[in-house]
Amino acid sequence: MSMNAIVHRNGGRVWLEGVKGWSPAEKHSSVHAAQEAIMQAAGEKVAYDCLVGVSGLAFRLQVSKSGLCPSSAHPFCGWRCVARSTESVPWHVQVFELNPADGEQVKTARRAVVDSIERGIPAQYGEEEDGVIIGCQQEGAEWLCLHPMHNGGRQEFVETERPWGLGIYTGPKPQRASRRELAVEALRQATTMAGALEAESYHMGFKAWEEYIGQLRAMADAGIAAEKVDVLGNAWIYACLAGYRRSAALYLREVAGEFAPAAAERLTNAASLYERMSGEVLTDPQHKAAAIAPFPWNLKPGQPWSAGQRQEQIRRLECALPLEREAIAHLEQATALAAGPSQ
């Protein structure tokens, strides 16, 4: 294995060259983007879309019961979609859920970050969204980081605050999980989530689709002003939905070869539906997600999120829902075939 990251040292400062950051527009799940960045720095062939797919996030839609909260799209919120992607990566991950009152734990975690950088491996850290630690100084008291919410992941910065959690990639696994078995579990999760009604404080699956459309329609019908709703939350949920379904299509095509022809055909059928959903219905070549469900910074003063934009978003979601139902039916059939004696 050839490492892609190069270790540099200057006095008490140690940093890695060759680690790629990302922007939220490029990769909507920062958790999986960080996993990809770290594994690629380590010389492993790990792809973001496959991580999103194997985790189940590619197939999930959930909407907070309290409104259009951007947390709805996060892999750690509601129905968690992280464990299987962590299982699928070829390295062991040591997780620290940091307690600020536990000084020894914080000290141990900071030491683990320093050791990881010295070995040429970035570390993963989470504070609402995840980023990567690519260096350290002041004996580990300061981290050099890339984060998607800081200049789109393009500029290194110094972080001194304690994050919520850390992931330290300690070394290659002697045995790796079967890609087929991981895929079967991802398909089962996809179909289970689609039929679920809720997960913690979130509406799930087909219920979430209906609630999402219903909230937008109620706002449009009542003429509720844009400032009374979460424009950011709506934009992020919609952008992630389109992005995650694109990852679903890519993942299904990637793993179809692991299955016998009958199941593989269902997977490629579902992939085609997700491609259509993400690239023709929820978005299209002329209209990106932000043009349909604008972020606050896309709105000009005096030109709020309009009723016409909401109606167009409703129309697109209503057109996408039958495709979602059809794709899930194909995944159910593929799962049943994969469990059969001929597989």
For 131-146, the pLDDT digits (tens) are 999 999 988 889 999 9
Q: Which residues contact 272 (CB under 8 A, 6 or more apart)?
A: 249
What is the distance of C-alpha 169 from the center of its chain? 19
Tokens of 63: 């909407």
Name the 3-class secondary structure at 287.
Answer: strand
Residues 6+ apart with CB under 8 A from 116: 122, 123, 133, 168, 169, 170
Tokens of 179: 């890609």
CB 34 within 8 A of CB 124: yes
Structure confidence at residue 278 (pLDDT): 98
CB contact at 8 A, 37 and 178: no
pLDDT of the residue at 342? 47
CB 32 within 8 A of CB 48: yes
Q: Which of 48, 53, 26, 24 is nearest to 35 (CA)?
A: 48
Structural contact between residues 134 and 16, judged by C-beta atoms closer than 8 angstroms: yes
Are the CB atoms for 51 and 36 separated by under 8 Å? yes
> Which two three-digit tokens encode residue 173?
């696994």
Measured in residues, the chain has a length of 343
pLDDT of residue 339: 84
Rounded to an integer, what distance in angstroms lies between the CA atom of residue 251 and that of residue 254?
5
Report which residue type is found at 255. V
Per-residue model confidence (pLDDT) at position 219: 79
- Rounded Cα–Cα distance for residues 76 and 248 (Å): 18
Q: Where does 117-201 show beta strands of DSSP type E?
A: 123-127, 129-137, 142-146, 157-159, 165-172, 198-199
- pTM of the predicted model as reported, rounded to 2 decimal places: 0.94
Domain ranges of the chain: 6-46+91-172, 179-339
Q: How far is CA 183 from the centre of its chain?
A: 17
Gyration radius from the chain CA atoms: 21
Query: Among candidates 144, 135, 100, which has minimal Cα distance to 114?
Result: 135
pLDDT tens track of the chain, all 343 residues? Answer: 567 899 999 988 999 999 999 999 999 999 999 999 999 999 999 999 999 999 999 999 999 999 899 999 999 999 999 999 999 999 999 998 877 777 788 888 889 999 999 999 999 998 789 999 999 998 888 999 999 999 999 999 998 877 778 999 999 999 988 999 999 999 999 999 999 999 999 999 999 999 999 999 887 665 555 554 588 999 999 999 999 999 999 999 999 999 999 999 999 999 999 999 999 999 999 999 999 999 988 887 777 788 888 899 999 999 999 999 999 999 999 999 998 654 4
Nearest one of 184, 198, 223, 214 to 72, comparing CA atoms? 198
Asked if residues 204 and 79 have their Cβ atoms less than 8 Å apart, the reply is yes
Q: How far apart are CA 163 and CA 95, in angstroms?
A: 12
Which of the 8 DSSP states describes residue 300?
Answer: P
- Alpha carbon of residue 33 to chain centroid: 7
Contact 162, 156 (CB under 8 A): no
What is the pLDDT, as a whole number, of residue 224?
55
